[in-house]
């Protein structure tokens, strides 16, 4: 075994993923080659540091479900196995394919975690804005149940025009609107009354298709929907099913005007 071959095998060997003759060969090489042995010890040291210093958080069940769904998608998208090839080619391409699969897996899991974190942060930020607005005198900047008053007021202060509609006939009376900063962006907030509850709906242009998610943060429900080219995020202390149905209804194309 030469140093080049040993170099590619050091990380999987350190992870205990290599057996049989290859294991025997690399062990023999590491005993006789100081350079590769040093590389091997670097890998072990890095792994120990990651274990000791990395930040861990307990993954919630919904993240696990999402990762499983993504993995199932990735598996479905993997092309069928190629027809049998001579052994030497199988040997060479096997390593490359395993490397690709590991990269894809890392990317899939990594982006699921990033998405989940972003969603968590957005929900927490929305709840903070909502509670601050309800507790202060800053709930409404333009007080009107008339969508023809609220919409122009918001549009004049933003670089987009949020769809606005009073839904009093369905129990959700438009009280007015205000401007907020959500996710580092100026956004329109529509304020509705539902029985004794206040509902804030943050409306902003859709950048990527927002997942229709529902979650609870500090006792508040957050429901999200996509539609009419907008990302709709509603926060309130009403029940999850009511809020979810309401935000879906708002986001539906026939509602926008």
In whole angstroms, what is the distance from residue 212 CA to residue 244 CA? Answer: 9
Q: From the CB of 93, what's the least distance to Zn ion, in Å? A: 24
Identify which of residues 43 and 128 has a Cβ nearer to Zn ion in the complex.
43
Closest CA to 113 of 53, 57, 74, 46: 57
Q: From the CB of 3, what's the least distance to Zn ion, in Å? A: 3
Q: From the CB of 23, what's the least distance to Zn ion, in Å? A: 16
Residues that bind Zn ion (CB under 5 A): 3, 6, 33, 36
Q: Are 124 and 217 in contact (CB under 8 A)?
A: yes
50 SS3 class: helix
In whole angstroms, what is the distance from residue 74 CA to residue 101 CA? Answer: 10
Identify which of residues 8 and 103 has a Cβ nearer to Zn ion in the complex.
8
Identify which of residues 37 and 179 has a Cβ nearer to Zn ion in the complex.
37
Q: Which sign, positive or negative, has the C-alpha torsion 68, 74, 80, 85? A: negative
Q: From the CB of 13, what's the least distance to Zn ion, in Å? A: 12
Q: Where are the beta strands (DSSP E) in 27-172?
A: 142-143
Identify which of residues 3 and 45 has a Cβ nearer to Zn ion in the complex.
3
């Amino acid at each position: 075994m030469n140093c080049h071959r040993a170099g590619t095998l050091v990380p999987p060997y350190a992870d205990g993923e290599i057996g049989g003759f290859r294991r025997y060969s690399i062990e023999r090489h590491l005993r006789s080659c100081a350079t590769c042995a040093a590389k091997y010890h670097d890998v072990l040291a890095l792994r120990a540091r990651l274990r000791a210093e990395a930040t861990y958080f307990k993954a919630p069940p919904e993240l696990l479900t999402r990762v499983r769904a993504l993995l199932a998608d990735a598996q479905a998208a993997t092309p069928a196995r190629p027809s049998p090839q001579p052994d030497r080619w199988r040997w060479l391409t096997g390593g490359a394919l395993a490397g690709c699969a590991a990269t894809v897996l890392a990317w899939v899991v990594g982006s699921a975690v990033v998405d989940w974190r972003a969603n968590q942060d957005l929900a927490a930020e929305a709840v903070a804005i909502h509670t601050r607005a309800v507790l202060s005198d800053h709930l409404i900047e333009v007080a009107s149940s008339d969508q023809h008053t609220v919409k122009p007021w918001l549009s004049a202060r933003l670089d987009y025009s949020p769809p606005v509609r009073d839904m009093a006939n369905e129990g959700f009376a438009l009280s007015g609107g205000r401007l907020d900063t959500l996710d580092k962006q100026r956004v329109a907030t529509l304020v509705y009354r539902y029985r004794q509850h206040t509902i804030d709906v943050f409306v902003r242009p859709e950048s990527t298709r927002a997942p229709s998610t529902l979650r609870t943060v500090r006792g508040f429900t957050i429901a999200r929907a996509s539609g009419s080219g907008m990302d709709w995020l509603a926060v309130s202390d009403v029940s999850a099913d009511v809020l979810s149905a309401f935000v879906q209804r708002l986001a539906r194309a026939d509602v926008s005007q």
